[in-house]
A and B are shown apart, each in its own frame.
Chain A
Amino acid sequence: MDQFTLNLIVVGATFALYIGIAIWARAGSTSEFYAAGRGVHPVLNGMATGADWMSAASFISMAGIISFGGYNTSAYLMGWTGGYVLLAMLLAPYLRKFGKFTVPEFIGDRFYSQTARTVAVICLITASLTYVIGQMTGVGVAFSRFLEVENTTGLLIGAAIVFFYAVIGGMKGITYTQVAQYVVLIIAYTIPAIFISLQLTGNPIPPLGLFSDAKSTGLPLLETLNGMLKDLGFTEYTKQTDTTLNMFLFTMSLMIGTAGLPHVIVRFFTVPKVSDARSSAGWALVFIALLYLTAPAVGAMARVNLIDTVYPNGTTEAPLAYEARPDWVKNWELTGLLGFDDKNGDGLIDYVADKDANEFTVNNDIITLANPEIANLPGWVIALVAAGGLAAALSTAAGLLMAIASAVSHDLIKSQINPAISEKGELLAARVAMAVAIAVATYLGMNPPGFAAQTVALAFGLAAASIFPALMMGIFSKRINNKGAVAGMITGLVVTIVYIFLHKGWFFVASTASFSDAEPMILSIKSTSFGAVGAVLNFAVAYIVSNATDEPPVEIQELVESIRVPRGAGQAVDH
């Protein structure tokens, strides 16, 4: 059986499973559509959060970025896991106690202001939409390889499937489907990693393999890799080249962005009790850590294998002839994401650091998907990875679209524009909002502002600068009032998005950029790292404005008191 047929069978089988579950758990009421009727067990909820969280950025893109960036990309690993500590301690239990459906709802009630709620909706849509663009980039890569078509075609097919998938289900459908998706994606991620770790180091556990000796040289794997890279003129894998300031701010942006992303926070609205919200965050991180501990091993090992493929006789010898290139190189050439340009006309694949002499370009985003092919693993493993990548992209895209849909239908239309809207009308509005979001994200996904994980990192910066500070101050301070919160959110969002647009182009149209991440506007702060600065400004402005204006009314101060203690969460209002 050829690889294409095998891919179709495995991917088809997993899709049938998800759609089956989605139909079985079809959402009936609005309460089920948004929050699964608050009946989800913490471990299952943690698993679903894991699937929701680990998107195309984590599954498809991150290992590739680590592979080519080495130590400098550690921010992705620390940032996207460390945020759960903040979530578990600073937000999740109190928001569950508050007991509503959406993040803007909390902000609107706590800051007793429809304006605050509307600003929160705008922040939420901006961050989520940017995030969906990153997902669409990943979906495009996965589908183009799997269906053996050009990248743009893959993106359009992927978008159609995401649309169908997110629109028929609601949160409940998504919760149980996501448990299935988690299982598929984690198996798909770890199995090739185990094989490759065994091949390279003899250790079957990839996170241990990363710090073990390479079979080929007898030296530690990372030393071996450093040596290879040095021969070819690349920076050593473990060396820091990014500035400490930028690494610090980037890690911080990703961490607080994690805690401020609405599609993750709403997960904690669906657990039965406040104590479950805390443990659910822990379980989510357990399931996420399985992938995040594997990813750095995948990154380093893929780089070793890639160099081994191009330099079969060692990095000090001549590289492989283009005519002798393996099948995986040919397969990926079809997608346009891997290329060879014989600059010196010698027919050999020269892969070196020097840009003028390098003839081999590999898009970061293909590393995870190509990894099993590079390592010559069996066909079913390759098919499984394709299925896993699609599971990751679909589950997150669906979760994000839910967050956007509920913000529009619930926080804008039902609460402000037309309170008399029927349940049916509200669901329809939610679905229309999803469709518009997918269309916009697909369009922007064709010319993304970066690799999937980088685009997603921008979304985190936006969430970090706008939503996280408002939520945290709403819980930990009784003094922050409506005016302070609104001023803070607007400052954080505007400053961050302007900084991003100055570097990535206005509305991500690259030609309108005034600066680049290679030479940022302020010090060495890249656009992906600016969220942390935006967050600090948000806190500062909110504090100053609140202290210059009236303190919140007594009933709001009582509300803050009440969300701080778990007792009474069961009586939380239902709509």
Chain B
Amino acid sequence: MADNSENNAYWAANKRIIVISLVIWFICSFGFGILLRPMLAGIKIGGTDLGFWFAQQGSILVFLVLIFTYAIKMNKLDKEHGVDE
């Protein structure tokens, strides 16, 4: 195992990626899908509004992109910090 400061830097970098990902996760589901829906009501899509689309479809697509991006970024980070398996 690498020394502790290396591990701490790895952990801090991991946490940074997680925070950014979860901000996007929150905005696209709770934000666009629920809280901000009234504000987005003017944007029409397929017979309804953008908020409805995010709530029933868009958010799921965003979640998919988020997880795979995270997996790829972490694999790179593992190697950079010499903690890969």
Contacts and interface: CB of A to CB of B under 8 A. Distances in A.
24 contacts: A78-B33, A82-B25, A84-B67, A85-B67, A89-B22, A210-B56, A211-B45, A211-B53, A220-B46, A221-B46, A222-B46, A222-B48, A240-B37, A244-B35, A275-B78, A275-B85, A279-B68, A279-B71, A285-B63, A561-B7, A566-B83, A568-B1, A568-B85, A569-B85
A281 B48 contact: no
Contacts of A289: 60-61, 63-64
Interface string A241-275: 00010011001100000000000000000000111
Contact of B47 (A88, A221, A562, A564): A221
Nearest to B68: A282
Interface of B (DSSP majority class): helix
A443 interface: no
A238 B49 contact: yes
Nearest to B77: A566
Contacts of A84: 63, 67
A89 B25 CA distance: 12
Interface in B23-52: 25, 29-30, 33-35, 37, 45-49, 52
Interface residues on A, range: 35 or more
Interface SS of A by simple majority: helix
B85 A251 contact: no
A440 interface: no
B45 to A, nearest CB: 6
Contact of B21 (A89, A211, A238, A566): A89
A74 B33 contact: yes
Given A221-B47, A275-B75, A565-B83, A88 B34 contact: no
A501 B67 CA distance: 36
Interface residues on B, range: 35 or more
A81 B71 contact: no
A360 interface: no
Interface of A: 71, 74, 77-78, 81-82, 84-86, 88-90, 93, 207, 210-213, 219-224, 238, 240, 244, 247-248, 251-252, 273-275, 278-279, 281-282, 285-286, 289, 292-293, 296, 561-562, 564-570
A275 B74 contact: yes
A268 to B, nearest CB: 13
Nearest to B66: A85
B29 A285 contact: no
Given A238-B52, A248-B34, A293 B85 contact: no
Q: Which of A212, A221, A296 has the most CB of B within 10 A?
A: A296
